[in-house]
Amino acid sequence: TDYKNVLDVACVGDAEAWIRGNNNKITRIDIHGAVKDTVITTGLFGPDIALTREGELIFSDIISSIVKIVRHGRSETLITTPQGWSPSGLYCTKSGDILIHMRKVIEMKNFIFKYVNKIIRYQGQRIKQHIYKDGQGNPIFTDSRGSLFMSENNNGDICVFDTNAHTVIVMEKTGRVKF
């Protein structure tokens, strides 16, 4: 590719992939590196990308606080995040739900920001679940600016890498922390 830094990849079958770097483009390439499609985003703040169960590209737009979907070569708003929350990481589950890592600035002192993180599960455009506290009411994720990378294992558990705490958290589909 002509990207100096590839930051994210979403595979399309076994011969193509959507890639994004540290610019405002998301590009679909084939196995030989030929560009098949390009989506221009609103900023350089690196949206996250994922594919829906139907194979449609979705990406987070941090500046507009929305998640967009690419349909028929055009990007359109899929999800508008709750007020004050910015979408970051994305993951589409086997059941078709969309997990979105969201971050919110809750305090700023002397140009030092304090963040809070959570994961919101969407079923279509409807919020189905907020994941941010354990069974004792304690925060699951570290309150800092770093990303949460999400995946789903074969049991349907949500696996999250919290880059702030350098920790992997495994939760049941319900959000209950297993370990």
Strands (E), the chain: 6-12, 16-21, 25-30, 35-40, 49-51, 57-61, 66-71, 74-80, 86-92, 98-109, 112-123, 126-131, 148-152, 158-162, 167-171
What separation in angstroms does the CA of 178 have from each of 86, 129, 136, 142, 170? Answer: 27, 17, 13, 17, 6
Digit-coded pLDDT (tens) for 46-105 = 678 999 999 999 999 888 899 999 998 889 999 999 999 999 899 999 999 999 999 998
Digit-coded pLDDT (tens) for 37-52 = 999 887 655 678 999 9
Give me the pLDDT at residue 169, please.
Answer: 95
> Residue 158 pLDDT more than 70?
yes
Compute the radius of gyration of the chain from its Cα atoms: 16
Distance between CA atoms of residues 6 and 22, nearest Å: 7
Give me the pLDDT at residue 139, please.
Answer: 92
What separation in angstroms does the CA of 78 have from each of 67, 75, 111, 146? Answer: 6, 9, 33, 24
> Residue 122 pLDDT more than 80?
yes
What is the pTM for the complete model shown? Answer: 0.90
